[in-house]
Amino acid sequence: MAQYIADRRDVDFVLHEQLGVEKFSQHERFAEFNKKTVDLIIGEARNLALKEILPTQEIGDREGARFENGAVLTPKEFKRAYELFVEGEWLAMSEDPEWGGQGMPTTIALAASDFFNGANFALMMYPGLTHGAGKLVEAFGTKQQKELFLKKMFTGEWGGTMLLTEPEAGSDVGALTTTAVKNEDGTYSITGNKIFISGGDHDLVENIIHPVLARIEGAPEGTKGISLFLVPKIWVNDDGSLGEPNDIICTGIEEKMGIHGNSTCSMAMGSKGQCRGTLLGEENKGMRAMFLMMNAARLLVGMQGFCCASASYMNAVNYARERVQGKNLMQMFDKSAPGVPIIQHPDVRRMLLGMKAHVEGMRSLLYYAGYCEDQKLLAEDENEKARLQGIIDVLIPLCKGYITDKAFEVCSQGMQVYGGYGYIKEYPQEQLLRDCRITMIYEGTNGIQAMDLLGRKLGLNKGKAVMDLFGEIQKTINGAKEVDATADLAAQTEKVANKLGEVAMHMGATAMSEKVLNAFAFAHPFMDACGDVTMAWQLLWRAQIAAQKLAKAKKKDVAYYEGQIKSAEYFINSVLPITLGKMNAILNNNGAAVEISEDAFGAK
């Protein structure tokens, strides 16, 4: 059966009608990225995703990555798709052309990634991790490190990963035990074991460059004593040629619920005492380096989860148009009435509209985060740069935590629309659900995202970052009030946004009081409420634009614009009232979760 990934019409709406990315071409930095060029880029990304990458999705799930005789092998079909991807210079779309990038705005790169990750995000993890590792080299590498590694990584000739997690440490990175001892030649001998390393080893590239977190002998305990090192799979000589294999090996790969096509490796360093690496950045500043790159990594994970949801929705709505089952409810007692497509059944329509609203809101929110990055890059005023960075910082836990939570729910609904067929492997819905689930866990579990939002982002810049975001929301509300079709929706959104302001103040105060544990017990519901309001903002923004364009819309666009208004209408009338209930529960501040004794949980 036909499979779908991303809705080109909706991608174009966000890029051109909501965000107006073509205006970036007015700046010298992005002069070549006018509307025609942007549309060509998105068209090429979509073609590659549909024709070459999407066919590998089911194959990757069925065959998976394999660990044979000490080597990690990917499905053979991955190689052609990967080669075409790097030939098109898609790996480092927004990076400096000097190092193999295309220099395009982040917003446009995200739109292209929408198609790539929707086609097979397990495959796209390999270049995605390479890009993240390359950004670390770009930000903290010496001139020599950049010359040796950066272009090879950004062009996809070499791969990259991130060696962070250890068996006993888990999310508590400060408890790591991997050590580094300085050698006479300035390199470091690295010894330790890492687990859950996505793409830690594979056969798509000839060399893999591993950024590794380790503690130099004598360094302080905890995160303050962690440094970052570059450890190549094959040593790279000073002239750029490849030397001997380094003493870093994959000892096995995990059998997982989903993303079977990506190798999740256990890595051993220094088992022969010969693992060498070079310091990346300053000693004991490894965690600071990692946090600098965390925004991009978490935005990528949000995109991965969202893309599963987008594909699941598109599959579901098209299946619902074709699957004939049952009579129209208005003809239930007419024995001669024919069966109808299930899209005519009210409960199916409710599920589809809920999926539609969430997918559209998630797409706008993710693109908007990239749009803020582009604005920040072009801003000349330092205060404006700081304002935009603050908004980005507040949005990131929502883009990662809230979006992946809701993406999984959308994938579950996408399975439900198919009924029993959704649960079997003949159809793509069950794979999308399985693949999506990891996005709620890695790159910081969603509980950690909620704690980050409450513990760090709520008070960021003395609360200015949150207030700046609220200011952007209020601008949209004010504009939507001036449009007849969205005025009531704007008023309802404003009411809930104001309530969220009250809840945010309550959470901030509680987190600074003796009831701090209570506050963090409600951190995830608070993130959920913040996400709901942020989604309502994006959907209201979209609806306002659509309402203003409807009067002069071409016939082919009328249904799309009407659909935007219905998405906002559904979300604001059906979801936000539930959000108010969540907020009341938070304000009630019940302490059951922290007061219950461990024995009372039972299950010994």
- CB neighbour class for 58 (10 Å; exposed up to 12, middle 13-18, buried from 19): middle
CB atoms within 10 A of CB 175: 13
3-state secondary structure 545-582: HHHHHHCCCCHHHHHHHHHHHHHHHHHHHHHHHHHHHH
Q: Indicate if 58 belongs to the active site.
A: no
Beta bridge partners of residue 73, listed in sequence order: 66
Token couple for 242: 């490849």
The SS3 of residue 165 is: coil
User: Cα separation of 133 and 300, whole Å?
Assistant: 13
Catalytic residue (choose from 443, 472, 482, 514): 443
What DSSP line would sit under 69-135, residue for residue? TTEEE--HHHHHHHHHHHHTT-TTTTS-GGGT-----HHHHHHHHHHHHHHHHHHHHHHHHHHHHHH
The SS3 of residue 318 is: helix
Inter-residue contact 583 to 503 (CB < 8 Å) = yes
Q: Which of 498, 522, 500 is nearest to 510 (CA)?
A: 522
- Angstrom CA distances, 290 to 133, 305, 337, 443, 498, stand at 10, 22, 63, 11, 35
- Residue 222 φ then ψ, to 5°: 75, -165
Where does residue 439 fall: left (phi above 0), alpha (psi -120 to 50 degrees), or beta otherwise?
alpha
Token couple for 229: 């090192």
- Residue 38 φ then ψ, to 5°: -60, -45
Token couple for 494: 């404003």
53: number of CA atoms within 13 Å, CB side? 29
State which amino acid sits at residue 207: N
User: Cα separation of 210 and 192, whole Å?
Assistant: 13
Report the alpha-carbon angle 497-498-499, nearest 5.
Answer: 90
Pairing of strands 159-160, 179-182: unpaired
442: number of CA atoms within 13 Å, CB side? 22
User: Cα separation of 86 and 155, whole Å?
Assistant: 6
Token couple for 579: 């959000």
User: Cα separation of 59 and 72, whole Å?
Assistant: 16
- Angstrom CA distances, 201 to 51, 234, 399, 445, stand at 26, 12, 28, 24
CB atoms within 10 A of CB 205: 21
Residues 6+ apart with CB under 8 A from 575: 354, 357, 532, 535, 536
Report the catalytic residues.
Answer: 443
